[in-house]
Amino acid sequence: MNLIELFLSSILNQNIALVFILGMCPLIAISTNVKNAKGMGLAVILVVTVTAVINWPIYQLLLATGTEKIALLVFIITIAAVVQLLEIFMEKYIPSMYNAFGIFLPLITVNCVVLAVSLFFVNREYTFGETFSFSVGSGIGWALAIILVAGLREKMAKISDLPKGLRGKAIVFIVLGILALAFVGFTGIIR
Amino acid sequence: MKLIRLRYTKWFNILKDGLHRNNPIVVAVLGICSALAVTNRVDNAIAMGLGVTFVVMASSAVVSLIRNYIPSKMRMVTYMVIISAFVIAVQLFLEAFFYDISQALGAYVGLIITNCIVMGRAEAFAAKNPVRYTLVDGFASGMGYTLILLIVAVIRETLATGTILGYQVLPASWPNWVVMSMAPGGFFVLGLLIWGIREWSKLYEEN
């Protein structure tokens, strides 16, 4: 499959948040306003790409030594270490970016999108190039989803009068369902 | 008489909290990813629910056993390593005995690690309580999770294909609602279910 097509499909019709339903906990918790959603989205794009690029060669090493069963454990440790290192690095060299990300960077360790991208390239046997374009696309797709939901929730909080039981998280699922329908609709454009 | 006294024991309250008052999905809204992604078929939902129950119980028990020896700064990493060991065990078990289900679940079995329920119970309960209570707590949280998974899966599979566990339950003329087996169907069913349960139990969310 060509790389541009893979990149576009991982943003739209194979969107990791709306079609594969991953990273829901942070998506629901942090989508109450657009500003925070943008911060979280950018942090996810960065971490997903960096960890996938690091995990790919590590997985080839595990395959070569026949220890691929513990890949899960190794991935989790790499992700935790990468997040920690990014935090230290940014605090020292790019403090403006570090302040912009704030609390979101450490929170990413528990975001399942990051681990899922690493597990997907294993399951689908991607090459390095495919892994790269899939991980960037997935990061952007997740960011797009959280920003869309946050925008809708911000408007909804001001104008809509919901039944009591639907307030808060229940209505977010309905919104997500409608968005997901729209994203599934892109299937005709890209394979 | 004995039954009335049972209601006031710690055992009973922990069990009730996990299943009903603190249900991880409906009230706390945790562990949604797997709840939606694997519930397009009932057998997948059962496998996932039991897998999570096992991992919660086993990892909580181990965390509780060594809780006095874990330095508090290192505790998250320690939990992660313990949990991932049990998840790998579940993955290998499914591959060996239920190959079809393990193929259908794919990467989602590995993602039990990042299921907030497991980490949440280790941090909130197992780190402070003796082993015998953590086992009950893990079982209750796991079963509360499995219960919701089953309800969602039954609704989705019935509407999508007219079957439950492969047995025909609706008349063959049923027009299959294909959207129910895809992601949007999962979102709608869970959203409406949470709404229904909140109206029924009067557990509203301040917003």
Which of B181, B203, B207 to mutate to test binding with chain A, by most A CBs within 10 Å of its CB?
B207
Give the pLDDT score at B1: 44
Q: Which of A43, A45, A55, A37 is nearest to A115 (CA)?
A: A55
Selected residue of A59, A68, A166 to mutate for chain B interface (largest B Cβ count, 10 A): A166
User: So what's the pLDDT on residue A191?
Assistant: 59
Q: Would you tell me which residues 5-44 of chain A have a C-beta closer than 8 angstroms to some C-beta of chain B?
A: 18-25, 28
Nearest to A170 among B182, B183, B194 (CB): B194
Q: Domain of B18?
A: 10-153
Q: Is residue B192 part of a domain?
A: no
Indicate whether this model's pTM tops 0.90. Answer: no
Say if the Cβ atoms of B185 and A178 lie within 8 Å. no
Q: Which chain A residues contact residue B179 at CB under 8 A?
A: 181
Q: Which of A22, A110, A168 lies closest to B207 in CB terms?
A: A168
Whether residue B1 lies inside any domain: the answer is no
Whether residue B42 is contained in a domain is answered as yes
Residue B31 belongs to a domain = yes
Helix then strand then coil, % of chain B, to nearest 5: 75, 0, 25
Instruction: Give the pLDDT confidence score for residue B207 in this predicted structure.
Output: 46
ipTM reported for the complex, 2 dp: 0.84
Cβ partners under 8 Å of residue B94, min gap 6? B47, B51, B101, B102, B105, B109
Q: Which domain holds residue A45?
A: 3-188
**pLDDT at site B4:** 53
Q: What is the DSSP letter of B180?
A: G
The number of folded domains in chain B is 1
B23 to chain A: which residues are within 8 Å by CB? none
Block means of pLDDT (10 residues each) for chain B, 207 residues, are: 56 68 63 78 89 92 88 80 91 90 84 82 83 88 87 89 80 80 87 83 63
Of the candidates A140, A138, A158, the residue with the CA atom closest to the CA atom of residue A148: A140
Choose the closest CB to B33 out of A21, A73, A169.
A21
- Strand ranges (E), chain B: 163-164, 167-168
Nearest chain A Cα distance for residue B51, angstroms: 16
Torsion (CA) B112, B117, B120, B124 in degrees, nearest 10:
-140
Task: Please indicate, yes or no, if residue B67 is contained in any of the structural domains.
Answer: yes
Put simply, whether A119 touches B (Cβ < 8 Å) is: yes
- Structure token pair of residue B152: 């969602």
pLDDT recorded at residue B93: 92
Output the pLDDT for position B206. 55
Give the separation between CA B163 and CA B171, rounded to whole angstroms: 9
pLDDT of amino acid B22: 63
Number of domains in chain A: 1
Q: What is the pLDDT of residue A98?
A: 78
Q: Which residues of chain A have pLDDT under 70?
A: 1, 102-103, 110, 190-191
What is residue A55's predicted lDDT score, i.e. its pLDDT? 92
B3 is a domain residue = no
Whether A117 contacts chain B with CB within 8 A = no
What is the nearest CA distance from A96 to chain B, expressed in angstroms?
A: 27
